[in-house]
């Protein structure tokens, strides 16, 4: 039987091998377990195997899991599209947001972040390959948004996030990821002392994590390789056994 313990171990091995191939320190890449559509018990199993950080796409689904797992010290990352009228629960309950692509959303998150919590850790989602249906800000607009976000008191700007269209070959994957890596470095340099915590390139998933690591990713977001396949639509959450 394949357990989450086993699949997580395999993903860590993939990350380790990719770091070795790229001449990078394996500790320079963190694993975000993407748990959308998975029930709370699957996350509990992943936590028992050492996983702390989880990525969720659907706010309501995430809030239900947070409540069911409130006894565990988990770190919650919002990686789904964010509308400016739906920011409050995200500001109040998540630790990270990867999908900021306009100032209005960032401003609302900053205003709504409760004072007793640390600043919300945020990445700007960049539409790195110009995909038409994709969320994300255009690369040439990213620095201006980054500078505006650094002025917001309750946010800490951590980096950029990309979600390119799947490319078939390793070389094609690397070409896209390289352009994200170049942009990341340019923004980091331009921000300088304005954003000392700007150290996160959130890039790479089950199908392309090796290419992403080769190109400098510091956080891979992996779902399928850990939890198995997903239904294409989010399920209505089953009630958990008591
Ligand atoms: C679903 C999702 C992932 C994980 O994808 P897998 O191919 O299952 O690893 C990563 N990032 C985002 C933004 C996602 O929506």
User: Is residue 234 within 6 Å of ligand 1 at its C-beta?
Assistant: no
- How far, in Å, from the CA of 205 to the mean position of ligand 1? 6
User: Is residue 206 within 6 Å of ligand 1 at its C-beta?
Assistant: yes
Task: List the beta strands (DSSP E) in 68-209.
Answer: 75-78, 96-100, 120-126, 155-162, 200-202
Mutation test residue for ligand 1: of 205, 209, 230, the one with most atoms within 8 Å of CB: 205
Round to whole Å and give the CA distance between 57 and 119.
20
- How far, in Å, from the CA of 210 to the mean position of ligand 1? 15
Contacts of 167 (CB under 8 A, 6+ apart): 173, 175, 176, 208
φ/ψ of 220, rounded to 5, equals -100, 140
Mutation test residue for ligand 1: of 8, 15, 34, the one with most atoms within 8 Å of CB: 34
Residue that has been written with the tokens 């170049």 in this structure:
182
Residue that has been written with the tokens 């028992």 in this structure:
48
Instruction: Give the pLDDT confidence of 148-201 residue by residue, as tens digits.
Output: 999 999 999 999 999 999 899 999 999 999 999 999 999 999 999 999 999 999
pTM given for the model: 0.94
Q: What pLDDT sits at residue 209? A: 98
Cross-strand bridge partners of residue 137: 126
User: Is residue 57 within 6 Å of ligand 1 at its C-beta?
Assistant: yes
Residue 207 CA: nearest ligand 1 atom is 7
Instruction: Give the pLDDT confidence of 41-69 residue by residue, as tens digits.
Output: 999 999 999 999 999 999 999 999 999 99
Instruction: Give the pLDDT confidence of 200-234 residue by residue, as tens digits.
Output: 999 999 999 999 999 999 999 999 999 998 876 55
Round to whole Å and give the CA distance between 187 and 145.
10
């Amino acid at each position: 039987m394949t357990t989450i313990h086993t699949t997580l171990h395999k993903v860590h091995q993939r990350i380790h091998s990719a770091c070795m191939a790229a001449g990078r320190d394996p500790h320079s890449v963190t694993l975000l377990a993407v748990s959308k559509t998975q029930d709370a018990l699957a996350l509990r199993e992943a936590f028992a195997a050492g996983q702390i950080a989880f990525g969720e796409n659907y706010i309501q689904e995430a809030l239900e899991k947070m409540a069911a797992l409130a006894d565990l010290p988990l770190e919650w990352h919002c990686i789904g599209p964010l509308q400016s009228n739906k920011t409050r629960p995200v500001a109040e309950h998540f630790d990270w947001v990867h999908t900021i692509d306009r100032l209005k959303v960032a401003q609302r998150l900053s205003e709504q972040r409760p004072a007793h919590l640390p600043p919300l850790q945020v990445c700007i989602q960049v539409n790195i390959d110009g995909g038409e249906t994709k969320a994300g800000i255009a690369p040439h607009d990213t620095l201006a948004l980054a500078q505006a976000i650094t002025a917001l008191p309750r946010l800490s700007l951590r980096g950029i996030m990309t979600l390119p269209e799947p490319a078939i070959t390793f070389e094609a994957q690397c070409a896209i990821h390289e352009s994200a890596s170049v942009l990341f470095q340019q923004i980091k340099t331009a921000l300088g002392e304005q954003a000392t915590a700007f150290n996160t390139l959130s890039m790479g998933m089950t199908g392309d994590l090796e290419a992403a690591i080769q190109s400098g990713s510091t956080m891979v977001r992996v779902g399928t390789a850990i939890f198995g396949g997903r239904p294409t639509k989010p399920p209505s959450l089953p009630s958990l056994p008591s």
